[in-house]
């Protein structure tokens, strides 16, 4: 069983779809009996890498925003 995303035209493994959402576009998926797409693993790793990069950038921005506030208060 796989999860099919009609926007990305991809069949994903169930573990790749959090709560039935496509990991790449965030859209809904439907269950399918088709085999997993050949590049599903590579695209899933790319999506995870982009998410990690985005999270690190947000933490970086939050850290320096808080640091600037501390310097202004001092």
Inform me whether the pLDDT recorded for 74 exceeds 80. Answer: no
Domain interval for residue 28: 2-73
Residue with the two structure tokens 């501390």: 70
- How far apart CA 67 and CA 58 sit, in angstroms, is 14
Q: What is the pLDDT of residue 17?
A: 93
- How far apart CA 7 and CA 31 sit, in angstroms, is 14
Question: What pTM was estimated for this model as a whole?
Answer: 0.75
pLDDT, tens only, 40-65: 999 999 999 999 999 999 999 999 99
């Amino acid at each position: 069983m796989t999860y099919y995303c009609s926007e990305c035209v991809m069949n994903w493994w169930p573990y790749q779809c959090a709560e039935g959402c496509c990991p790449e576009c965030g859209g809904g998926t439907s269950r399918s009996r088709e085999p997993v797409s050949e590049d599903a693993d590579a695209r899933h790793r790319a999506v995870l890498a982009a998410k990690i990069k985005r999270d690190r950038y947000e933490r970086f921005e939050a850290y320096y925003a808080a640091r600037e506030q501390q310097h202004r208060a001092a």
